[in-house]
Amino acid sequence: MATQSGITIAGPNEPYTIVDNIARPTPGPRQALVKSLYVGLNPVEPFMQHTGLLINEFPAVLGSDVSGIVLDAGADCKKLSKGDYIFGCVPIGRNQLSPFQETFLAEEDWIFKKLGNVGLEEACTIGAAVLTAGLALVDGQNITLPTPGAKADPKDSWVIVMGGSGSVGQYACQLASLAGYKVLASSSPSKVDIPLKAGASATFNNRAPLEEQLAEIGKITGGKFGRIFDASIVSFELSIKALEGLSTEDEKYFSTADDWSNISVPESISLYRVMLGQLGKVDAPRGKHITDLVVELTRKCEQYLELGELKALDYQLLPSVGWSGVIEGIADYEAGKLPKKAVVKVQNE
């Protein structure tokens, strides 16, 4: 049995360990064998490492955002072939599909095929963030994204994005703007240029007292909003008070990237919790629904990227490389030392 190197954890809260005895996978009919070249770091990796949640087996291989090159493709693959570059977010917690190893398996319907206008490094900023934002808006708030290349009709309504300067928030700003909505994003004063660059029409200070934030939301929108996405996962109280007390629209939606806390909302508000971790779990109704939506979002966002209607985020390429660079990068992330989306080069082509 062929083996390869990578990073594993032996159990919950066990350290990351570099090993060379991971079984090298073989692609199925609609899968590609991909060599990991760059990985993007996300909060889900330390969450899984510390808690052991979302993991199917131990020792576990982790990872979520990746870009790489196809080494082999299954007999029924139509989209991918040897030599193609890919990127995206993998179904987490499944060893053969996880990128913190030399090669992994990619389901061709769930992965992005990289085109010439997106670099391998910046491609690692796209997958998890754009899919989280897309699910929050499309599945959670009944927003219709336009056909790539077509301009959506302007809406006399605002979408409010809490945490508009974060990775997920920036893509939410881009997608809501593409759909024709005006976008109001919360941000710290030092980062207001980030959501504005991503398509927000206006911002408000998320460091201000809650009542001041509510007043600013009312002043900017005039109450013409019914959709709030909490990409920050820390703005639940503000969001519900805004929808209950300020919104003049009949339909009210609250989406959040928090799928673990015990929260409830008034009956007048539709609650949606993004569950990207259900990707690939096609034997369960929720997993199949999420997977089908991700397939649709992936196809559409591939075209948005090709047309320049969707942009990759600013990022920082970390100086340390390889599997040790990944471990160092996660430690720096947990210590609050990484102000931008972090990308690590793990292998040469």
Q: What is the CATH number of the domain that holds 261?
A: 3.40.50.720
Taking the alpha carbons of 313, 319, 321, 326 in that order, is the dihedral positive or negative?
negative
Q: Is residue 306 part of a domain?
A: no
Q: Is residue 302 part of a domain?
A: no
Q: Is residue 294 part of a domain?
A: no
Are the C-beta atoms of 85 and 57 separated by less than 8 Å?
Answer: no
Give me the pLDDT at residue 344, please. 98
Based on the fold, state whether residues 120 and 141 are members of the same structural domain: no
In angstroms, the CA 188 to CA 239 distance is 17
- Token pair for residue 173? 């700003």
Which residues lie below 8 Å from residue 18, measured CB to CB, with a gap of 6+?
Answer: 5, 6, 7, 323, 324, 327
Based on the fold, state whether residues 96 and 143 are members of the same structural domain: no
Give me the pLDDT at residue 1, please. 75
Domain boundary among the residues 220, 254, 278 is at 278
Q: Is residue 296 part of a domain?
A: no
Q: Is residue 221 part of a domain?
A: yes
Based on the fold, state whether residues 262 and 165 are members of the same structural domain: yes
- The closest alpha carbon to 276, from 119, 108, 42, 70, belongs to 42
In angstroms, the CA 338 to CA 43 distance is 12
Q: Is residue 337 part of a domain?
A: yes
Based on the fold, state whether residues 195 and 234 are members of the same structural domain: yes
Give me the pLDDT at residue 117, please. 85
Based on the fold, state whether residues 112 and 146 are members of the same structural domain: no
Pairing of strands 31-40, 65-73: antiparallel
In angstroms, the CA 59 to CA 17 distance is 10
Q: Is residue 82 part of a domain?
A: yes
Which pLDDT tens digits describe the chain residue by residue (349 residues)? 799 999 999 999 999 999 999 999 999 999 999 999 999 999 999 999 999 999 999 999 999 999 999 999 999 999 999 999 999 999 999 999 999 999 999 999 999 999 888 999 999 999 999 999 999 999 999 999 999 999 999 999 999 999 999 999 999 999 999 999 999 999 999 999 999 999 999 999 999 999 999 999 999 999 999 999 999 999 999 999 999 999 999 999 999 999 888 999 999 999 999 999 899 888 888 999 999 999 999 999 999 999 999 999 999 999 999 999 999 999 999 999 998 999 999 999 9
Q: Angle of helix 127-134 relative to helix 167-178, nearest 10 degrees?
A: 50
Based on the fold, state whether residues 85 and 158 are members of the same structural domain: no
Based on the fold, state whether residues 317 and 270 are members of the same structural domain: no
Based on the fold, state whether residues 139 and 263 are members of the same structural domain: yes
Q: Is residue 90 part of a domain?
A: yes
CA distance from start to end of the chain: 23
Based on the fold, state whether residues 198 and 263 are members of the same structural domain: yes
Structural domain harbouring 167: 134-278
Give me the pLDDT at residue 284, please. 86
Number of folded domains that form the chain: 2
Pairing of strands 225-230, 158-162: parallel
Alpha carbon 178 to its chain centroid, in Å, reads: 18
Give me the pLDDT at residue 73, please. 97
Based on the fold, state whether residues 264 and 160 are members of the same structural domain: yes
Q: What pTM did the predictor assign? A: 0.95
